[in-house]
Structure 1
Amino acid sequence: MSAASVRRPPVFPHLWLLWFGGSQVLLLAVWWSAGWLAMLPVWLLSHGLLLWGTFRPGSRVLGPVLTRLPTREREVWLTIDDGPSADTPAMLDLLDAHGAKATFFLVGARAVKQPALVREIVRRGHGIGNHSMGHPAAWFWALGPVRMRHEVDRCQRALTDLTGRPPRWFRAVVGMANPFVSAALKPHGLTRVAWSARGYDGVAADPERVVARIERDLAPGAIVLMHEGAPHGHNVAMLALLLQRLDAQGYRTVLPA
């Protein structure tokens, strides 16, 4: 699995403006020539694509995104969002016990308050990803270009200062990436990462059900989404069970370069 085959940093971050702007010109032309009823399907299609690109984590409408690894081997990429947290040390011990590796998508504001945990993640050989500075879960999808750049830039600087290496991966908050995300990622060469297997462990509290959902989507190259520090307090138990199931099914965890 080569780095070139995995990384997908944005090249033309404003490409969406071309098709969306063109659709609005078409919309006006149809309205002028045939009236608003004929215009309605064009309006629905153009705005529907914009919404789909924003709210669908794996959509490529607004820019490149990685949803799985290009491999046929029984390998998965384990990713853990929202740290660092009080769960981090126990999760690191579990990963060590299973000989597993993960990429931790860290929130910048939480990282700067717990620098020792961030450095410990790196010291134990795990990856670090950018998960925004403040994790504005309710309205990340609606951020404008200045605030979006602020969230990405500040987190990138914080994690680079703490670890001595710039993250290469970015995960949108709640997976929702609006039209301004790609422009914020391009200067840093960041690749947006989504997922192909999740158990909703950020809100669901039953480890068996969470891991069963993940197992249904396990396949070679799957990107597995997990969380830490959720209010229900069961993320460590969920990771423990998932690692047991991965071992039992012959999967190994890998870190893309």
Structure 2
Amino acid sequence: MSSPATPLHRVPPHPRRIWIGFVLSQMIVAALWWWLGWRAGLPAMVLSHLSLFWGALWPQSRLYGPALSRLPVADKRVWLTIDDGPSGDTAAILDLLDAHGAKATFFLVGERAAARPDLVRAIAARGHGIGNHSQAHPSRWFWALGPRRMREEIAGGQAILRGITGQPPRWFRAVVGMANPFTVAPLREHGLSRVAWSARGFDAVAPDPATVVSRIERTLAPGAIVLMHEGAGHGRSVDAMALLLRRFDALGYGTLLPEALEGDPRSRARPVAAGAHAP
């Protein structure tokens, strides 16, 4: 399989680019204020600062470096991603994936991985991908972390997962999908590429699997990156995954890992035939 024209795994550029861009934008704001007065300068300043918040709060934003949100495939294959593990649901989800011939990337939290290393090894042994989803999953404040804490979250998760599997993750998913300028340096340092999504069902908070899957179907398309979770507090994560995989079967969708598009045959998943079902 030939590699895509644009590399999928893209680490952020040097962070100096972001800071140079910010300084230049504020110089433009100051010039407008000086030449045209506050009526032009104030709106320019507000817009420039709103763009910084938009870059942090919109998961698909590329303001703070590349963010992969879709794979370049034309057939019915998607990248299934599962956040927040490992958990008490991991073993059941692995069995479901096996039953449907599906592959997924598990974005794991470092501290949870350290508490359940056997599950991390089981994910890798069954041919699934493992990504970095921070060390402690600070969901409320990840978007606003400063440089030291951000580095600790990214580097800490990376070290734990590398120590368990022997391989450093290549992919990173920001907590709640939100990044900020301080994610750039540690991602670049550890060779991590940030992954967003294009289809989600809000399964971490929605307890009804049918609602979750219906939401995902609305934006399901070839190359979609599908966001799912495990270990949700409502206790229905396994049920939601089971229903989603059955719908993939019925709609003729298969799964793949991005490494398959980069020429690594070990990461290719068997396409799911239309109408297939779990035994």
Q: TM-score, normalised by structure 1?
A: 0.97
Correspondence 1:65-144 to 2 at 5 A: 65-144=67-146
Specify the alignment match of 1:248 in structure 2: 250
Distance of 2:169 and 2:61 partners within structure 1: 22
Which runs of 5 or more residues in structure 1 are unaligned? none
* Deviation string, structure 1 residues 141-189 (Cα, Å, up to 9, x no partner): 0001111111000110100010011100000000000111111100111
Specify the alignment match of 1:226 in structure 2: 228
| Residue identity in the other structure for 2:97 | L
Specify the alignment match of 2:262 in structure 1: none
Alpha-carbon shift at residue 19 of structure 1 (Å): 1.8
Specify which of 51, 55, 58 is matched with residue 57 of structure 2: 55
Alpha-carbon shift at residue 121 of structure 1 (Å): 0.5
Conserved in 2, the CA contact under 8 Å of 1:23 and 1:42?
no
Conserved in 2, the CA contact under 8 Å of 1:6 and 1:66?
yes
SS of residue paired to 1:224: strand
* Deviation string, structure 1 residues 9-47 (Cα, Å, up to 9, x no partner): 112333221221111112222222332222112112211
Alpha-carbon shift at residue 212 of structure 1 (Å): 0.3
| Residue identity in the other structure for 1:135 | H
Alpha-carbon shift at residue 135 of structure 1 (Å): 0.2
Specify which of 178, 181, 184 is matched with residue 182 of structure 1: 184
Specify which of 144, 147, 150 is matched with residue 145 of structure 1: 147
* Deviation string, structure 1 residues 66-124 (Cα, Å, up to 9, x no partner): 00001101110000000000000000000000010000000000000110010011011
Specify the alignment match of 1:45 in structure 2: 47
Distance of 1:215 and 1:30 partners within structure 2: 46
Q: 1:2 and 2:11 equivalent?
A: no
SS of residue paired to 2:131: strand
| Residue identity in the other structure for 2:233 | P
Distance of 1:20 and 1:235 partners within structure 2: 41
Alpha-carbon shift at residue 2 of structure 1 (Å): 2.4
Conserved in 2, the CA contact under 8 Å of 1:137 and 1:174?
yes
Where do 4+ consecutive residues of structure 1 move more than 6 Å? none
Specify the alignment match of 2:263 in structure 1: none
SS of residue paired to 1:180: helix
Percent identity between the aligned chains?
A: 62
| Residue identity in the other structure for 2:206 | A
Aligned length: 257
SS of residue paired to 2:68: coil
| Residue identity in the other structure for 1:2 | S
Distance of 2:217 and 2:141 partners within structure 1: 30
Specify the alignment match of 1:154 in structure 2: 156
Distance of 1:73 and 1:135 partners within structure 2: 34
Q: TM-score, normalised by structure 2?
A: 0.90
In terms of mean alpha carbon deviation, does 160-169 or 8-17 score higher? 8-17
